[in-house]
Amino acid sequence: MIVTAPPSTGFRRRGRLAIVCLTLLGLIPFAAAAAGPSKRQMAQIEGQLRQHVTTLASDEYGGREPGTPGETLTLRYLARQWFDIGLESGTNDPGNTWFAPVELVEREPQSSRAQFFHGKRRVALAEDSYFVVTSGLRSLIENAPLVYVGRNPGGEGVRTELAGRVALVLDSEAAPPEPAKPGPGNAAAARPAVDRAGQLLDSGAAAVLTVLDGERTLEDVMARRRRAGYALSGERIGGDIEAFITPEGARQLLASAGGLDLAALKLVGAAPGFSARPLGLAASLEATNRETRIKTHNLIGKLEGRRPGSGAVVLMAHWDHFGKCAAPPAEDLVCNGAVDNASGLAVITEVARQLSAGKPLDRDVYLVATTGEELGLLGALAFAENPPLPLGSVVAAFNVDSTGLVPAGLPVSVVGQGMTRLDAGIAKVLKGLKRKLAAGDAANAFARRQDSWMLMQHDVPSVMVSTSYSDPARLEAFMDNVYHRPSDAAASVVYGGMVDDVLIQTELLRFFADVKAWPGTGPAAGLAAGAK
Ligand SMILES: [Zn+2]
């Protein structure tokens, strides 16, 4: 799901945009939910959406990869749109108006070495029987004893047994990983449900050596780990070492020490009260990564409310995608990301146009186009860690990711339903619009795979509301055939549901930006409003 990015080509532009006002085509905002928009207004919204998607998902934009000329084109296009609509810079940083710098580091595995010992004697294993990776730049442990830990989940109690040792675990004993089905965004999708290795490392193990005797093969693990990993620059660089070994390699290793074989170990590990067993073996492990820095940006605009200090509402969509994602001889190399997520950018831009042209709102509305979503929700993380406004003042945040999949008129899904205090307010707005909420919470499968998750982790009530997740068949067809592929191009975007999303989001923003409709910023105030 995460595609390795080529090295950054740099990004220079910063500062104020040239002020060029484009005359808009006499757009009239739809006034009140009750009256509803006219056919002509809906056609105008659709025309605008189509223009944004066609532009942002064109080959000229190169798949909108962070740190490339595609970023410059994307952010310049959006900022000009937002400026013309009437937004001002929302970065709250006079040195960096509109474009909030975000620095990413990309780490790619470079080398992997392992040596195993029984006493002083080296146990020679084939090089293709193991793989060593680190989360840091270079990690090395020398001659550390191997200890089998069974199903031991780590914890304070085993700290002395693990300290300075390599914990050996069997993959067949691990909890089953999360289903690998991809969704919009991807960060959480690649991780197993229980991070056993992480728990053991946290409990003091010098490294973890996993015997791949379960469903995963060494090739699976290597393919996943060889993809670049990304992080925000300035995040603590870990130095954890993890190693993986084939069952044949493990058998050879255990035999060299004359101890138990894998099956016997498993029996021992399953015994009640088992915590750890030294294996009479030791390992030296080394892994290095290559590091590249990528300078990229979140675009932040603001529509100022008329009641300063009354809080803010955030509307966001990620602008980044994968750039070139196929290799010759394929003819189409660019992942244009039309649905994912030119569609979301188009929707938030048209919502902003409606809001700006309508009755003034009480609260500030922040429009955020995030970078690095495809690399692990990193732009949203940067926004949350270095916000242009106190996060506690954000009464609601709405993300738009991968719309443009369905025709008009479908029920509305809330990704994050039941996870925030916004549900009651959303229900009220949908009722006013005579829109049906989709039954069940199937859409929550995407909760961790999109930017609002990152805000939720920082206690900002944040959800994704769209009609695009209400048709499982279409969603599945998209995921299986189009998602993160060159075929996610403008030609396949469906606009009816996107127009719906613009109308719905506009009313949601109006509602949550209204201090009477949605009174407070504290959880109690939100609940009180919701309880009515
Ligand atoms: Zn994506």
Mean pLDDT of 515-527: 66
Specify the higher pLDDT residue, 155 or 305: 305
How many angstroms is it from 398 CA to the middle of ligand 1?
Answer: 17
Q: What is the pLDDT of residue 183?
A: 39
How many angstroms is it from 301 CA to the middle of ligand 1?
Answer: 23
d(CA 467, CA 502): 10
What are the phi and psi torsion angles at 502 (to 5°)?
-60, -45
SS3 314: strand
Q: What is the pLDDT of residue 190?
A: 38
Q: Is the predicted pLDDT of residue 155 greater than 80, yes or no?
A: no
* Residue 341, preceding peptide bond in cis (omega within 30° of 0): yes
Residue that the structure tokens 């780590």 belong to: 154
276-292 b/e (C-beta count within 10 Å ≥ 16 → b): bbebebbbbbbbbbebb
**pLDDT, tens digit, for every residue of 441-488?**
888 988 999 999 999 999 999 999 999 998 888 999 999 999 999 999
Listed residues: CB within 5 A of ion ligand 1: 340, 374
**pLDDT, tens digit, for every residue of 62-120?**
999 999 999 999 999 999 999 999 999 999 999 999 999 999 999 889 999 999 999 99
d(CA 435, CA 404): 18
Cβ atoms of residues 169 and 210 within 8 Å: yes
Q: Whole-structure pTM over 0.85, yes or no?
A: no
Q: What is the DSSP string of 338-406?
A: IIIIIHHHHHHHHHHHHHHHSSPPSSEEEEEEES-STTTSHHHHHHHHS-SS-GGGEEEEEE--S--SS
* Confidence bin at 25 (pLDDT 50/70/90): very low
Cβ atoms of residues 421 and 349 within 8 Å: no
User: How many residues can be counted in the chain?
Assistant: 532
How many angstroms is it from 182 CA to the middle of ligand 1?
Answer: 9
Question: 10 Å Cβ neighbour count for 477?
Answer: 13
Specify the higher pLDDT residue, 27 or 355: 355
Partners of 412 in the beta sheet? 437
Percentage with pLDDT > 70 across the chain: 87
* Confidence bin at 18 (pLDDT 50/70/90): very low
Mean pLDDT of 342-366: 97
Amino acid sitting at position 209: L
Nearest to 229 by CA among 217, 244, 218, 240: 240
Q: What is the pLDDT of residue 186?
A: 37
**pLDDT, tens digit, for every residue of 291-312?**
999 999 999 999 999 999 999 9
Three-state secondary structure of 132-193: EEECCCEEEEEEEEEEECCCCCCCHHHHHHHECCEEEEEHHHCCCCCCCCCCCCCHHHHCCC
Query: Picking from 12-26, 97-111, 428-442, which range would have the lowest pLDDT averaged per residue?
Result: 12-26
Q: Is the predicted pLDDT of residue 399 greater than 50, yes or no?
A: yes
Q: Is the predicted pLDDT of residue 521 greater than 90, yes or no?
A: no
How many angstroms is it from 488 CA to the middle of ligand 1?
Answer: 10
Could you tell me how far CA 417 lies from the centroid of its own chain? 18
What are the phi and psi torsion angles at 18 (to 5°)?
-60, 140
d(CA 324, CA 329): 13
How many angstroms is it from 512 CA to the middle of ligand 1?
Answer: 28
As to burial, measured by CB atoms within 10 angstroms (0-12 exposed, 13-18 middle, 19+ buried), residue 358 is: middle
Q: Is the predicted pLDDT of residue 253 greater than 80, yes or no?
A: yes
Q: What is the DSSP string of 424-468?
A: HHHHHHHHHTT-PBPSSSGGGGGGGGSTHHHHHTTT--EEEEEST
Beta-sheet pairing, 312-318 with 138-148: unpaired
How many angstroms is it from 405 CA to the middle of ligand 1?
Answer: 14
Strand ranges for 241-304 from DSSP E: 241-245, 277-303
Specify the higher pLDDT residue, 178 or 280: 280
Q: Is the predicted pLDDT of residue 512 greater than 60, yes or no?
A: yes
What are the tokens at 440? 């069940």
How many angstroms is it from 337 CA to the middle of ligand 1?
Answer: 8
Cβ atoms of residues 396 and 425 within 8 Å: yes
How many angstroms is it from 392 CA to the middle of ligand 1?
Answer: 28
Partners of 108 in the beta sheet? 290
How many angstroms is it from 459 CA to the middle of ligand 1?
Answer: 24
Percentage with pLDDT > 90 across the chain: 71
Q: Is the predicted pLDDT of residue 26 greater than 50, yes or no?
A: no
**pLDDT, tens digit, for every residue of 307-336?**
999 999 999 999 999 999 888 888 889 999
What average pLDDT is seen over the chain? 87
